[in-house]
Amino acid sequence: MNYPHPILAREGWPFIAITLVLALWAHLSWGLPIALVLDVLAIFVIQFFRDPPRLVPGDDDVVISPADGRVIKVERTFDPYAEREAILISVFMNVFNVHSNRSSVDGVVRKVQYFAGSFFNASLDKASLENERNAMVIDAQFPSGVQTVTLVQVAGLVARRILCYVDVGAELKKGQRYGFIRFGSRVDVYLPIDALVKVSPGDKVSATLSVLAKLS
């Protein structure tokens, strides 16, 4: 498997280096109590930025989860980015989840839009349209033809940086890493209304490993 930065995400390397240096310095100069606090901080930062490679399901008709976390919403709604009726599946990531984002489908990016906004708790309904977010509309390839799938990275209460590495016209492969959100957030997935949903609110999902829905 060709993966560019196994185990630890490149986005975390500066944070990991800083916390490890501080922890080492504390052990040498500041005493055990402070050193232990910084040890815990370093461990937290390392676990937050873990980014293991994942196997991708071979089925052509599935939509896979773009993130690790918990499903907090499955509902029929309006997709404001592709301007259509859609099924929305929201995956909430807490600070202990892997925060690397991966494409749910094979396809070509038709639109990328960034929106500045607030930083409400990402589990709240209003976060989808009021928080800082980055939306990516994809012309996705399925056995029945091209279908529209929208992936939206949404910042949360603690998150302060959404990273998206693809532009309009990019060709994505299912499971391909396309972005990262730092410190707690969610990803909204808008699907065609005839999608066969395979998850329910409360389900725990893993990026690439979990199937959110099927499209014929």
Mean pLDDT of 166-185: 89
DSSP track, the chain: ---SS-SB-GGGHHHHHHHHHHHHHHHHHT-HHHHHHHHHHHHHHHHHTB---------TTEEE-SSSEEEEEEEEEEETTTTEEEEEEEEEE-TTS--EEE-SSSEEEEEEEEE--B---TTSTTHHHHB-EEEEEEEEEETTEEEEEEEEEEE-SS---EEE---TTPEE-TT-EEEEE-SSEEEEEEE-TT-EE---TT-EE-TTTSEEEE--
Structure confidence by residue, pLDDT tens digits, 68-118: 999 999 999 999 999 999 999 999 998 888 888 999 999 999 999 998 866
**Average pLDDT over the chain, rounded to an integer:** 88
Q: Is 104 a catalytic residue?
A: no
Residue 57 has a pLDDT of 86
Residue 11 has a pLDDT of 83
Residue 1 has a pLDDT of 41
Beta bridge partners of 163: 180
Q: Is the pLDDT of residue 203 over 60?
A: yes
CATH architecture, domain 62-214: Distorted Sandwich (2.70)
* Residue 184 pLDDT class (50, 70, 90 cuts): low
Residue 3 has a pLDDT of 52
Mean pLDDT of 143-170: 87
Residue 157 has a pLDDT of 67
Mean pLDDT of 179-195: 89
Tokens of 76: 């029929």
* Residue 2 pLDDT class (50, 70, 90 cuts): very low
Structure confidence by residue, pLDDT tens digits, 35-71: 999 999 999 999 888 888 888 888 889 999 999 999 9
Question: For residue 77, which amino acid is it?
Answer: T
Instruction: Give the active site residue among 90, 103, 128, 185.
Output: 185
